Structure 1
Amino acid sequence: MTSKKGKILVVDDDADVLQAARLFLKQHVKSIETEKDPNSIPTLLKNNRYDLILLDMNFTEDVSSGKEGFFWLQKILEIDPSIAVILITAYGDIDKAVQAVKAGATDFVLKPWKNEKLLTTVMSAMQLTDSKREVAELKETQKQINSDIDHHYRDIIGRSPAMINVFNTIEKVAATDANVLILGENGTGKEMIARALHRRSARHENVFMNVDMGAITESLFESELFGYVKGAFTDAKEDKAGRFELANGGTLFLDEIGNLPLPLQSKLLTVLQNRKVNRVGSAKSKEIDIRLVCATNQSLNEMVADTKFRQDLLFRINTIEIQLPPLRDRIEDIEALTDHFIKLYSKKYKKEVSGCSKETIKKLEKHSWPGNVRELQHATERAVIMSESTILQPSDFLLTQEISDSEQVVFEDYNLEEVEKMVLRKALKKHEGNISKAAEELGLTRASLYRRMDKYGL
């Protein structure tokens, strides 16, 4: 048996109405309170957290105009905008219903009500309250996450000409709602660029929603991105908003868009064109207002030529392209990046490491960095942890040398983690960063390969 949940307040000057509402709804909700005097509403809201308020439109002072109901509706929403409010009246008509909804009411019911209709309306309204509060909590969490990110990455580090071009592009497009496609190898910082665009946009106080398209299976694609309604499939125990709805008003970041299979590309294109989503199991469309940012390490133009990516979807997502350079093409930034990571991990691990020797920087600048900035970050973290000196030396950085595709793999030792890391790097290089092909050759799923890449900083 499903446990009852939700707390409801019913405000009406008719004792019979309060009694009827309490007797019926207490069978279906966790808690129900009743109140005859609307002047008690502010105090009740101050001391309680309600999921729904059923509010009479007409009290004894004003029999039929509905003015009191509208007045208290506004007061309630001023105190807690997340609460769903259903207005009830014996004198309702279409005009008042429209006015009530425009004023912020969730719905409108007439006395005497039918219990089945009332229950359906109440449950839908409480679900709306849950969704509003979920989004509000997510926004607050995201605000804290962004604050933390800004603390550690006040600005994306780079002084090379290639990065200056990236910064200039961000400044030009961030304030717009133009769709942006970020291109770059794994580990170049595509998500950081997406977050920078969001923080500099008019949507910065709203949600930044990150979706790893390579980690979502085809069977979960629609339910994860578009949401679902209760009963849509076996495990759909309740309504759930998808990523598009949760990102409404903010930025939706679709990472590794190149890994999306063709059938799913068509579904994504439809949503982007119509700016509407249908939850799985529902025929009702919900309008969405998102700023779209996508990223990939693959050449989408080549995929279009090979009929592996829809050209119309590519046109839709790349109003502006930002090409992130690999670290080997911006060696001028290695010293500044390393200093940044040293400060970060010295504080984290309480180590008195203040910098690198000149010889160490030379060694780092000569390395090809197939894992780019992410690889440098992990290498620096390990160096800070293992070093017994305040200045990092070349020996503190254990860098795996590049192996060409034609060379035989020779291991200096048989540490399983080092062997696995080297094999992963070779497979990724062979397939030019194509996650799907590398995973297939390694006998792994894309999600498993992503986890291993993250583990080793590749």
Structure 2
Amino acid sequence: MSSSALSILVIDDNPRIAESLGIAIEMAGHRLDIASGPEEGFSRLAAQRYDAILLDLNYAAGRTDGAEGLAMLARLLADDPAACIIVITAHSGIRLAVAAMQAGARDFVMKPWRNAELIAKIEVAAARAAPRSDRPHVYGGEVPGGEPARLLGDSPAIEQVRALIRRVGPTRAGIVVTGPSGAGRTLIAQAVHAASGDADRPMARLDLRDMAAWDRLAGEEAGTWLLRHPDRLDEVAQARLLDRLPMAARFIAIADDPGGITPALARRIATVEIAAPSLARRQADIPLLARHFARIAAERHGRPAPRFTPAAEALLISAPWPDEARGLSAAIERALLLGDGGVIEAALLAPAAPVVAAAPRSSFDLDETERGMIEAALIEHHHNVTHAAQALGLSRGALYRRMARHGL
């Protein structure tokens, strides 16, 4: 593969089309990844950046209006207006291709295509892309080091976060990211940075609880700083910190309690608050996130991407996940490693579910979790109580007693 090789993502649900594209692209010396639809496409884009995206416009059976593909095109370009997207359409879909071009696609490919023409279009479109440092800075771009800063999910809660990042990211305003630990606060901070004019520079990070590291602030007059835990400093320490902050720098803070930041410091580092939503506020996103985490873990450990049984999918939504998305990711990785045959069953996820943080309603939450686990195990084993009891590590009698208590 040559030094000018491109990294290309094909998003197409037709395996034969994807295979044909793959042969042509790889023979031309470029690297190819394949996603079978929008969900997997966004998952791959959250894991790495691509020089070009080949996007089919129809996915659902019998659909020819291109609505799904055009909706994905709009979201991709909203996240990154500089994305190099080439749409794929049938020969009869010239109107869709024109609509996609008007919406911001770089070019289009008609089925069937000539391989030489296809490769030429990809290479020309990618060559027209502005260098990363010259592109408009948007939240969906990459952070230094090559990792994209892209938030997955379609829930209203996460879409509100994306919209707020697009609005305030390009400004110089100080941002404080709040919400539960493990809900993606650091990723949101990275997304804000990727949307800024400083995106081509690394974002410096500083845990403010380590006051010995504050001297690093003196050596940076510009750029963006990620400040952790300003709310855990007392008023005197916050005043000292304010005196040390470089005037030309931008600050993004992560805090548990924004009310714990003094007004004077808040004006500098917390002009706008972005709250990371908990999984409880974005339940509809949990299966999507779980599949994303499963794909990433499978690639890390050299395993095939697993599928979730219906009972496992039901448990994903019903169970509370300590440590939020981070805890969900850890549970998925553990289930992948312990499972067999590329399948994740409810019983593999269940050990993570009963751990509930102490709270006034912890017993209620535990009951709900136990009920969800029992229901999932019964569904998994087709209501065979003996097998469900074995999966849960209970005797038949103990399971019957719990079923009676929960009205199952």
TM-score norm. by structure 2 comes to: 0.50
Letter in 1 for 2:144: N
CA change 1:162–1:332 in 2 (3 A) is same
CA offsets per residue over residues 251-302 of structure 1, 9 Å max, x none? 1000222112322101112234xx4xxxxxxxxxxxx52111011122x32x
Deviations 1:175-228 (CA, angstroms, capped at 9, x unpaired) = 1111111111110111111111111211111120111224x1xxxx1x412x2x
- Indicate yes or no: 2:342 matched with 1:390: yes
Q: 1:179 aligns with which of 169, 174, 179?
A: 174
Q: Which residue matches 1:428?
A: none
1:353 touches 1:392 (CA, 8 Å); kept in 2?
no
Equivalent residue for 2:219, pick from 245, 250, 254: 245
Determine helix, strand or coil for the equivalent of 2:205.
Answer: strand
Q: Is the 8 A contact 1:175 1:201 kept in 2?
A: yes
- Uncovered stretches (5+) of structure 2, i.e. residues with no partner: 1-140, 364-408
- For residues 127-138 of structure 1, the aligned pairs below 5 Å read none
Mapping of 1:363-402 within 5 angstroms?
A: 363-397=315-349, 398-401=351-354, 402=356
Q: 1:289 aligns with which of 248, 254, 258?
A: 248
In 2, Cα distance between equivalents of 1:368 and 1:205: 38
2:244 maps to 271
Give the counterpart of 1:355 among 307, 320, 332: 307
Q: Give the Å deviation of 1:405.
A: 4.4
Name the CA distance, whole Å, in 1 between partners of 2:169 and 2:266. Answer: 20
1:18-37 paired onto structure 2 within 5 Å: none
Whether the 8 Å contact between 1:181 and 1:322 is mirrored in structure 2 is yes
- 185 and 391 in structure 1: CA distance in 2 versus 1, 3 angstrom threshold: same
Give the 4+ runs in structure 1 shifted more than 4 A: 403-408
Does the aligned pair in 1 maintain the 2:143–2:199 contact within 8 Å?
Answer: no
Q: Is the 8 A contact 1:244 1:252 kept in 2?
A: no
1:369–1:144 Cα change, 3 Å: closer
Q: Which amino acid aligns with 2:327?
A: E
User: Within 5 A, what are the aligned runs for 1:86-235?
Assistant: 146-150=144-148, 155-214=150-209, 216=210, 221=211, 223-225=212-214, 227=215
Distance 2:152 2:344 in 1: 20
- For the aligned residue pairs, the C-alpha RMSD in angstroms reads 2.4
Which structure would you say has the larger Rg? 1
Q: TM-score, normalised by structure 1?
A: 0.45
For the structure 1 residues 244 and 255, does the alpha-carbon distance in structure 2 shift closer, same or farther, using more than 3 Å as the test? farther
Q: In the alignment, which residue of structure 2 is the partner of 1:285?
A: none
Are 2:304 and 1:345 aligned?
no
Whether the 8 Å contact between 1:178 and 1:320 is mirrored in structure 2 is: yes
Q: Is the 8 A contact 2:218 2:244 kept in 1?
A: no
The separation in 2 between residues aligned to 1:351 and 1:291, in whole angstroms, is: 42
1:261 is matched with 234
**Counterparts of 1:271 and 1:243, CA distance in 2:** 7
- Change in Cα spacing, 1:212 to 1:403, as seen in structure 2 (3 Å) is closer
CA distance in 2, matches of 1:405, 1:167: 30
- Secondary structure in 2 aligned to 1:156? coil
Q: What's the counterpart of residue 331 of structure 1?
A: 283
Contact 1:251 1:292 in 2 (8 A): yes
Give the aligned partner of residue 5 of structure 2. none
Is the CA contact 2:144–2:201 (under 8 Å) kept in the aligned structure 1?
A: no
Q: Runs of 5+ in structure 1 lacking a partner?
A: 1-142, 228-241, 276-287, 304-308, 409-458
| Partner amino acid, structure 1, of 2:233 | L
Aligned-pair distance for 1:249? 2.9
Q: 1:148 to 1:378 in 2, by over 3 A?
A: farther
Determine if contact 1:353/1:389 at 8 Å carries over to the other structure.
no
Could you tell me which amino acid in structure 2 is paired with residue 182 of structure 1?
V
Please give the alpha-carbon distance, in whole angstroms, between the structure 1 residues aligned to 2:227 and 2:282.
Answer: 26
C-alpha offsets along residues 11-46 of structure 1, whole Å, 9 cap, x if unaligned? Answer: xxxxxxxxxxxxxxxxxxxxxxxxxxxxxxxxxxxx
Structure 2 residue identity aligned to 1:224: A
Look up the equivalent residue of 2:340 and give its one-letter code: E
Taking the aligned partners of 1:213 and 1:367, their CA distance within structure 2 comes to 34
* Aligned CA distance change for structure 1 residues 289 and 315 (closer, same or farther; 3 Å): closer
Aligned positions, number: 221
Deviation of residue 389 (structure 1)? 2.5
8 Å Cα contact 2:307/2:342 also seen in 1: yes
Q: Distance in 1 between matches of 2:189 and 2:294?
A: 24
Change (3 A) 1:329 1:369: same
- Deviation at residue 355 of structure 1 after TM alignment: 2.4
SS of alignment partner, residue 147 of structure 2: helix
Paired-residue identity, %:
23
Aligned AA (2:241): L
Give a deviation string over 1:120-169, Cα, whole Å, max 9, x none.
xxxxxxxxxxxxxxxxxxxxxxx99734422xx6x211211011000000
Instruction: State the Cα deviation string for residues 385-414 of structure 1 (Å, max 9, x = none).
Output: 111121211111122422654679xxxxxx
The residue type paired with residue 199 of structure 1 is A
SS where residue 146 of structure 1 aligns?
Answer: coil
CA distance in 2, matches of 1:349, 1:194: 28
Letter in 2 for 1:399: A
Distance in 2 separating the partners of 1:260 and 1:361: 42
Given that residues 143 and 194 in structure 2 are in contact (C-alpha distance below 8 angstroms), is that contact kept between their aligned partners in structure 1? no
Partner of 1:81: none
